[in-house]
Structure 1
Amino acid sequence: MTINTLSLIRYAVINISQNVQIQSCLRRNITSLSASKANTTVDKEDVNRHSKHMKAWWDPKGKLGVLHSFNMLRVPLVRDGLISEPEKEKTLTPLANKTILDVGCGGGILSEALARIGGVVTGVDASEELIECAKRHSDLDEKIAHNKPAYFCSTIEHHAEEHPNRYDAVVASEIIEHVADTELFVRACVSCLKPGGRIFVTTPNRSLWTRVLGIYVAEYVMGMVPEGTHQYHKLTTPNEVSFLLERNCCHVELIHGMMYNPFSDKWSWVNSTKLMFAMQAIKLEPELK
């Protein structure tokens, strides 16, 4: 065997070894990311921070207006993910009889929108103030007078213990980046789903793009959302969320990138997930695990 051949083999072995180490390190990082520290999903500081904005929750032109326009993407995402019969799309209530859990529902912006198109919505949030805000506002919305969301001040892990395998859909929109234990959060969300049910996640990506545009510019320069809304170290990535979902008996069906234009107050789907992403996954039947 020639010296050149031995050198090539040595080079290949070193590279393979390095790749294995990198992959192993990535797996450890993902696992440690979701390691339980307090056996709760609640970050009290985060809950208190959001509770302070209760009065601005339903002002579409206020500090949280971006959540109102976000429904242009979130509602169709959930609707299209749950409808298997095309003819239902043409009705006013395409989500009729679909049970939906809105985790981290806040003041109910998304919960009410899903109820308006027929969804049987349950909203849970750790903030008593925001749950009261959601209840009061639902009493004012005539469009959901006969289909009001049911709101509960609770943690997702506690709700999962009382209502396992109950919902057709679990929606975790702009909440996973605020929890204290990511793995516990995902596990509890999936536990609430019926086999064959779908979970929908929207969240900022942990990337340089988000650090600069989504946090620094959006919060501290343009004031699009309140300062301190996001902590970079608590953000996740599409790979990490996919990993946790698949480890909890789910199959990821789609991942979309999202972008917000502050000048037009419009959201749009984009190919890149560098800034924000939406994910849809289905809970597998027990025998398919």
Structure 2
Amino acid sequence: MYSKKFARLAFGLLAESTFISRLTRNVSSKVKPLRSLCSWTVCQHHRQENQLSNGLTRLNVRTVSHTTLDPAEVRKFQAMASKWWDLQGDFSALHSMNDLRVPFIRDNLLNVHGVWQLGKPLTGLRILDVGCGGGVLSEPLGRLGADVLGIDPVEDSVWTADLHCSYDPELRERVRYQACTLEDLAEEEVEGFHAVVASEVVEHLADLDAFANCCHQVLKPGGSLFITTINKTNLSYVFGIVAAEQLLRIVPSGTHDWEKFISPEDLERLLESFGFHVDSIRGMMYNPLTGAWSWQQSTAINYALHAVKRKEEPQPDRVWAESENLNEPGQAKSYS
């Protein structure tokens, strides 16, 4: 009784708060050149640091040696591997999140790729579902026509996903699963996917630089990256940990570590430095009384992000070479 009263009071305060931001933060055309310039500068800095002995520069922005895998997180989800398809259990909030995240992914992919097939609008697109768990998100994307590969380091979760998918002949043709990490897959496949989805995943990873680097590597130029995660704010601690884990028991206690949460601003800067352009960020909220998610003006707790891998990255090495040629004897210096 007290937990429900707490939830009503807290959500009422949030709805009336004065820090609410706009509903959808779409990047305007005026801001894009500035972002591109900032990202070019970061890329230039990292390429300078990563020059090879033969004078060539690395394509990747940073040299990443760490793994995305956190053994402690693997143990958490290993214990819950058999519960993925319990609609009233630990993952019930993830099932209801599909009402927002599936249309968010679908509509943005249609805007980017301009494809449309009645009933199966994502036909012809390859999607990588990182941290797929039991396939809660992989399956609806497959039903929209996409060819989906779901990966997860927890083998029992992959087994659960594969078993559940096997009951639907249509899905067996489009959805498959593999027990591996993102960096393992990145070593095998380069620029093979039209989209990478990491929903409720980045807050469980050990190294976000490694994650961004691998996503960039497996995506086709112009491909999309979709992330849903939790902001790093006081409110996210109250709602995401105190309320969700300790009071309302929406998710098991210890599921989240507030120190691993990341703000949309920090996540955007990280992705921009790895060759992505962040297209939109939207606030989300879960109502434990109705069990439903809704889009919100505020990104203070949960948010969804869509980023696009740039088709052409700035090439500082080429700029430097041209500059050197211009400074050779007999060459006029241009400042235009």
Tell whether the structures are fold-level matches, with TM greater than 0.5: yes
Supply the distance in 1 between the matched residues of 2:114 and 2:299 (Cα, whole angstroms).
28
1:216 counterpart residue number: 242
Supply the distance in 2 between the matched residues of 1:69 and 1:248 (Cα, whole angstroms).
32
Greater percentage in helix: 1
Secondary structure of the equivalent of 2:137? helix
**Which deviations, in whole Å up to 9, do the C-alpha atoms of 1:172-206 show, x marking residues without a partner?**
11000001111111111121110000100100101
Secondary structure of the equivalent of 1:109? coil
1:54 Cα shift? 1.5
Structure 1 letter corresponding to 2:220: K
Secondary structure of the equivalent of 2:298? coil
1:146 Cα shift? 3.2
Any conservation in 1 of the 2:68–2:206 contact (CA below 8 Å)? yes
2:25 counterpart residue number: none
Counterparts of 1:1-289 in structure 2, within 5 Å, are: 39-84=66-111, 88=116, 91-147=118-174, 149-287=175-313
Supply the distance in 1 between the matched residues of 2:300 and 2:313 (Cα, whole angstroms).
35
**Which deviations, in whole Å up to 9, do the C-alpha atoms of 1:1-23 show, x marking residues without a partner?**
xxxxxxxxxxxxxxxxxxxxxxx
Secondary structure of the equivalent of 1:268? strand
1:262 Cα shift? 1.2
Structure 1 letter corresponding to 2:278: V
- Cα distance change of structure 1 residues 93 and 37 upon mapping to structure 2, 3 Å threshold: closer
1:88 Cα shift? 2.5
Supply the distance in 2 between the matched residues of 1:38 and 1:48 (Cα, whole angstroms).
23
Structure 2 letter corresponding to 1:254: S
- Cα distance change of structure 1 residues 44 and 38 upon mapping to structure 2, 3 Å threshold: farther
Supply the distance in 2 between the matched residues of 1:36 and 1:210 (Cα, whole angstroms).
32
1:103 Cα shift? 0.5
Structure 2 letter corresponding to 1:75: V
1:214 Cα shift? 1.0
Supply the distance in 1 between the matched residues of 2:162 and 2:88 (Cα, whole angstroms).
21
Q: Which runs of 5+ in 2 are unaligned?
A: 1-41, 43-61, 316-336
1:137 Cα shift? 0.8
Supply the distance in 2 between the matched residues of 1:36 and 1:59 (Cα, whole angstroms).
41
1:286 Cα shift? 2.4
The one of the two structures with greater contact order (alpha-carbon pairs below 8 A, sep at least 6) is 2
1:145 Cα shift? 3.9
Dislocated runs of 4+, deviation >3 Å: 35-38, 84-87
The CA RMSD measured in Å over matched residues stands at 2.1
Structure 1 length normalisation: TM-score? 0.84
Identity of aligned residues (%): 41
Count of equivalent residues = 255
